[in-house]
Structures are given as structure tokens and as C-alpha cells.
């Protein structure tokens, strides 16, 4: 190895602290900068063992593999390797040399590289890194780790046909047919507000929308924004939108939007929160900011608490009710939560008939409780048995639907605060379900 004090020092530091991933990533970068791609690949394998799916390491892995492929898969430049001073050539480079210093196990050999071993080491990494990934798979530099690449689409959302129809009408249709939308003078600009009782899958649907669009999914909760210091919350909110703009196409999902964009008329004692609402209004306005490719989705259990300015055209001007799961959705949810558990004789259709009015969270609770009953009996008897219908019935006997209180609040809104027709769909749903 040639005298390279920077690389030598970094390798010594890595040998002292092999668990520091950032140090190993820097070593990979140094190897790649010097054209020593084989050694970089060896370090990539070690790094991905520490943190599978690390975006920066996957980028370096792709870079080094491409460079080696372009060069015909040859070993690193011989000029980078110091030849032996004297003595006969070694016929087997893998054989140990008793006069050589103890090799550093974290450094791949520079000459006579064992390509078969390298293929075994990274074979389980190459497929997901290159075959399944498309353009835009990685976030912009400095934004790595903030996004999820949703693998879920609306086809995997059981039931909820009305929700899917509304999504296709207000968002997905214009995006899939931009020229037609332009001809009709419409677009998918602005935001979309998902509302309904808690535990009914609003976050899951938002993730499915991102998967449907092939976009980055950027979920934000209220705790990611609010800060105790004056001005920090507004800065956090601005940074969130800037990150989304840098990584468009992006679905920016703002959960609990009622807490972030609460009615300013009810904030007479909180000047700080009023400025946060003002900042959110400013970020969603296309006058001062370019939000092309950023699809803003909000979710709330209490849309009637959202500031009216947030619901004007160009902001959250479209609302979709995500109500209790219908029979097809309940069947899908039950199957999802039981699929990886030992079950026997489960009649999903019968359970669906018994769970009218249950939310998705309620159904998950039923499955978990039934599993705990089966596990407790297995521990007591010393004989493992699967979850049965008896366990499901026992769990159902102790769990009641949790959405009743939400519909009590919604009833007042439908009766006394629906002058503009914003909640007509909720009113029709409650009438159909006999909740009014």
C-alpha cells in the first residue's frame, strides 16, 4: 500500500472503533475517491451489516459496483500496491506469509481480490439496491432518513370504495391525466384533508397515496413542529416544507392538523400558536412558495377545530371522510393482524358480522387480546396451541367499539354547524348507519 497518511489514520481509527458507522462510511468514501473500489465494497458489506438499508452506503455500493463493472471487474490499479522487494512470486496469494505483519481484518486485500467471496458477501444487498429501486429512491443530501418509500398502494386497502372514489376524483385523477385536467381547468394543487374517528386508517391511506404516486412519503407529527422557544416552531415548520420541496415528488403528511392549525379565534391567550398557524398558511400559499410536486395531506379527528383560513381554496380545500371500516375493510384488517400468528379454524366472515361499528384500532385490539388468551393458556398447560374462534369470541366479549364518543361530538356539528354543507357526507353516513 502506498503511503497515504489520511487513509492510514482513518483505518487505524476504524480498527480502534469498528462500531462507529460514520467512520466506516468515511473510509468507504476515501477508498472510492482513490479508485480502490474493491476495498470499498468490502467495507460496504461491513457497514450494511451494522445498518441495513443505510442510504449513503447504498449509494457508495452502487457507485463502486458501477465503476468496477465499467472497468471490466479488474482489481485496483497495481500502482497503488507496493510490490515485494525481492523473492520469488507467490503462486497462491491467499497463503499466509509468516514474515508479513498481522493483517487488519477490516481491510479487504488490495491485490488478488477474492471476487467470489465478495459476491457472496453482497449478493443479498445488490438485488434490493439496484433491481427494485428507481429514480428518486434516495433523498437529497442531508435529508436521508426523513422519508419513507411507501410500498403500499390503494389496491391493498381493503374496502373503503367511497374513499378511493373520492381520492381518484380529487387527487389521483388530475395527477394521472394532467393534459385532460388542464383542458378542464382543474388541477391537484392545494391540500387534501382526511378526517374521521380515530383509529380508522387515515395514516395508512396517506401512505398508500404516496405509493400510488411513486412519491416520497414524509410523515410529520405535531411533536416534530412545536418547540418551547419563540420562533422555533415556525422555523421547524418552514424547514419541513423546504425538505419536502427539495425531495419532490413528495407526499407531505401532517397528522393532527387540528392541533397545528387550530382556530385562531380560540387562541386569544396563545400568541405563539397564532404565529404557527400564520406560518402554515404562508407555506401552503403558492404566491410565496413553489410547491409543485409537493402533495400536502392532513389528517384530523376534529376538522371543525381547524382554522377556516386553512380550508379556503388553495389550502385544505378538499375533505374526505374516512369513516369506520366497512365489512370488506374489516375482513382485510383482521386478516392482516392474524396473518403471522398461529391460528386454527378462524372464520373471518363470522367475526366481520360481529364487529359492526368497530374501528381498525379496535379490531387490532381484538386480535391481540385473543392471541394473549391463547398464549396464557399455552403457558399454563405447557402445550402450545393456536388462536381459535373461542379466543376471538372471548376477546370480543370484553371489547366494545371506541368511536361512540366521536360520533356524539360529530352529531352536534352535523345538526348545528353545517350551514355551508361541509359535513354533508358525514351527515349522510351517520343517517345511513343510524347514528343520528
pLDDT of residue 78: 34
Residue 62 falls inside a structural domain:
yes
Instruction: Looking at the structure, tell me whether residues 302 and 261 fall in a common domain.
Output: yes
Beta-strand (E) ranges in 97-242?
148-149, 191-195, 216-220
Helices (H) and strands (E) in the chain, counts: 18, 6
Instruction: Looking at the structure, tell me whether residues 116 and 99 fall in a common domain.
Output: yes
Q: Classify 321 as helix, strand or coil.
A: strand
Instruction: Looking at the structure, tell me whether residues 188 and 303 fall in a common domain.
Output: yes
Q: Give the CATH number of the domain where residue 251 resides.
A: 3.40.50.300
pLDDT of residue 38: 81
pLDDT of residue 71: 61
Instruction: Looking at the structure, tell me whether residues 90 and 157 fall in a common domain.
Output: no
Q: Classify 224 as helix, strand or coil.
A: helix
Residue 333 falls inside a structural domain:
yes
**H/E element, 75:** none
Specify whether the CB–CB gap between 129 and 63 falls below 8 A.
Answer: no
Q: Give the CATH number of the domain where residue 10 resides.
A: 1.25.40
- Interior CA angle at 164 toward 162 and 165, to 5°? 65
pLDDT of residue 148: 67
Query: Could you write out the DSSP letters of every residue in 330-384?
Result: HHHHHHHHHTTS-B-S--HHHHHHH-TT--HHHHHHHHHHHHHHHHHHHHHHTS-
Strand partners, 216: 149, 250
- Which residue range forms the structural domain that includes residue 307? 149-321
Instruction: Looking at the structure, tell me whether residues 286 and 364 fall in a common domain.
Output: no
- Report the alpha-carbon distance of residue 203 to residue 254 in Å, rounded: 9
Q: Which of 133, 162, 196 is the endpoint of a domain?
A: 133
Dihedral Cα 223, 224, 229, 230, nearest 10 deg: -110
- Report the alpha-carbon distance of residue 426 to residue 429 in Å, rounded: 5
Instruction: Looking at the structure, tell me whether residues 301 and 189 fall in a common domain.
Output: yes
Q: Which of 276, 296, 321 is the endpoint of a domain?
A: 321
Residue 407 falls inside a structural domain:
no
Which residues lie closer than 8 Å to 23 by C-beta, 6 or more apart?
10, 13, 14, 17
pLDDT of residue 110: 40
Q: Which of 321, 355, 386 is the endpoint of a domain?
A: 321
Residue 418 falls inside a structural domain:
no
Instruction: Looking at the structure, tell me whether residues 311 and 170 fall in a common domain.
Output: yes
- Report the alpha-carbon distance of residue 387 to residue 395 in Å, rounded: 11
Residue 420 falls inside a structural domain:
no
- Report the alpha-carbon distance of residue 125 to residue 79 in Å, rounded: 30
Question: Is residue 427 packed enough to be buried (19+ CB in 10 Å), middle (13-18) or exposed (0-12)?
Answer: middle
pLDDT of residue 350: 95
Sheet holding 294-300, edge to edge: 148-149, 216-220, 250-254, 294-300, 191-195, 316-321
Instruction: Looking at the structure, tell me whether residues 216 and 254 fall in a common domain.
Output: yes
Residue 26 falls inside a structural domain:
yes
Residue 10 falls inside a structural domain:
yes
Domain count within the chain: 3
Instruction: Looking at the structure, tell me whether residues 317 and 168 fall in a common domain.
Output: yes
Q: Give the CATH number of the domain where residue 382 resides.
A: 1.10.8.60
Residue 421 falls inside a structural domain:
no
Instruction: Looking at the structure, tell me whether residues 84 and 210 fall in a common domain.
Output: no
pLDDT of residue 76: 40
Between helices 55-70 and 21-33, what is the axis angle to 10°?
20
Instruction: Looking at the structure, tell me whether residues 157 and 279 fall in a common domain.
Output: yes
Q: What is the pLDDT along the chain (436 residues), one digit of tens a residue?
A: 446 777 887 888 888 788 888 888 888 888 888 888 888 888 887 887 777 778 888 888 888 777 776 665 444 443 333 333 333 333 333 344 444 444 444 434 444 444 444 444 444 433 332 233 333 343 455 565 566 677 888 888 888 999 999 898 888 887 777 777 778 776 666 689 999 999 999 999 999 999 988 888 999 988 889 888 888 999 999 999 999 988 888 889 999 898 888 777 776 656 677 888 888 888 887 545 678 788 899 999 999 999 888 888 778 888 999 999 999 999 999 999 999 899 999 999 999 999 999 999 999 999 999 999 999 999 999 888 999 999 999 999 999 999 999 999 999 999 999 988 999 999 999 999 988 7
Instruction: Looking at the structure, tell me whether residues 161 and 182 fall in a common domain.
Output: yes
Which residues lie closer than 8 Å to 157 by C-beta, 6 or more apart?
163, 164, 201, 204, 205, 208, 329, 332
Amino acid at each position: 500500500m502506498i503511503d497515504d497518511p489520511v487513509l492510514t489514520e482513518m483505518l487505524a481509527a476504524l480498527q480502534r472503533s469498528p462500531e462507529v458507522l460514520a467512520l466506516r462510511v468515511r473510509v468507504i468514501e476515501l477508498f472510492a475517491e482513490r479508485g480502490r473500489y474493491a476495498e470499498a465494497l468490502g467495507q460496504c458489506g461491513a457497514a450494511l451489516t451494522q445498518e441495513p438499508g443505510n442510504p449513503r452506503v447504498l449509494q457508495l455500493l452502487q457507485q463502486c459496483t458501477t465503476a468496477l463493472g465499467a472497468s471490466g471487474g479488474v482489481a485496483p490499479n497495481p500502482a497503488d500496491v507496493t510490490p515485494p522487494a525481492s523473492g520469488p512470486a507467490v503462486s497462491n496469494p491467499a497463503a499466509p506469509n509468516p514474515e508479513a505483519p498481522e493483517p487488519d481484518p477490516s481491510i479487504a486485500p488490495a491485490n488478488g481480490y477474492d471476487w467470489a467471496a465478495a459476491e457472496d458477501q453482497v449478493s443479498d444487498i445488490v438485488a434490493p439496491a439496484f433491481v427494485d429501486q428507481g429514480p428518486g429512491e434516495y433523498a437529497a443530501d442531508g435529508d436521508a432518513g426523513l422519508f419513507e418509500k411507501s410500498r403500499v398502494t390503494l389496491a391493498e386497502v381493503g374496502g373503503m370504495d367511497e374513499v378511493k372514489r373520492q381520492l381518484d376524483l380529487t387527487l389521483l385523477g388530475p395527477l394521472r391525466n394532467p393534459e385532460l385536467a388542464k383542458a378542464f381547468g382543474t388541477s391537484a394543487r392545494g391540500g387534501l384533508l382526511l378526517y374521521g374517528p380515530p383509529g380508522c386508517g387515515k395514516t395508512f391511506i396517506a401512505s398508500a397515496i404516496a405509493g400510488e404516486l411513486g412519491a416520497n412519503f414524509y410523515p410529520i407529527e405535531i411533536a416534530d413542529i412545536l418547540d418551547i422557544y419563540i420562533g422555533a416552531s415556525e422555523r421547524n415548520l418552514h424547514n419541513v416544507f423546504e425538505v419536502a420541496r427539495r425531495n419532490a415528488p413528495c407526499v407531505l403528511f401532517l397528522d393532527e392538523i387540528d392541533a397545528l392549525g387550530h382556530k385562531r379565534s380560540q387562541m386569544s391567550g396563545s400568541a405563539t400558536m397564532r404565529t404557527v398557524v400564520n406560518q402554515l398558511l404562508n407555506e401552503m400559499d403558492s404566491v410565496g412558495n413553489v410547491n409543485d410536486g409537493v402533495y400536502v395531506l392532513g389528517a384530523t379527528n376534529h376538522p371543525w377545530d381547524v382554522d377556516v383560513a386553512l380550508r379556503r381554496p388553495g389550502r385544505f380545500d378538499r375533505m374526505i371522510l374516512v369513516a369506520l371500516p366497512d365489512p370488506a375493510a374489516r375482513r382485510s384488517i383482521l386478516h392482516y393482524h392474524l396473518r403471522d400468528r398461529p391460528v386454527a379454524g378462524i372464520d373471518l366472515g363470522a367475526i366481520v358480522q360481529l364487529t359492526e361499528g368497530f374501528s381498525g384500532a379496535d379490531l387490532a385490539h381484538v386480535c391481540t387480546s385473543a392471541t394473549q388468551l391463547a398464549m396464557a393458556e399455552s403457558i399454563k398447560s405447557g402445550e402450545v396451541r393456536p388462536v381459535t374462534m373461542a379466543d376471538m369470541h372471548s376477546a370480543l366479549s370484553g371489547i366494545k367499539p371506541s368511536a361512540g364518543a366521536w360520533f356524539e361530538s360529530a352529531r352536534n356539528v352535523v345538526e348545528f354547524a353545517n350551514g355551508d354543507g361541509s359535513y354533508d357526507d358525514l351527515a349522510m353516513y351517520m343517517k345511513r348507519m343510524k347514528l343520528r
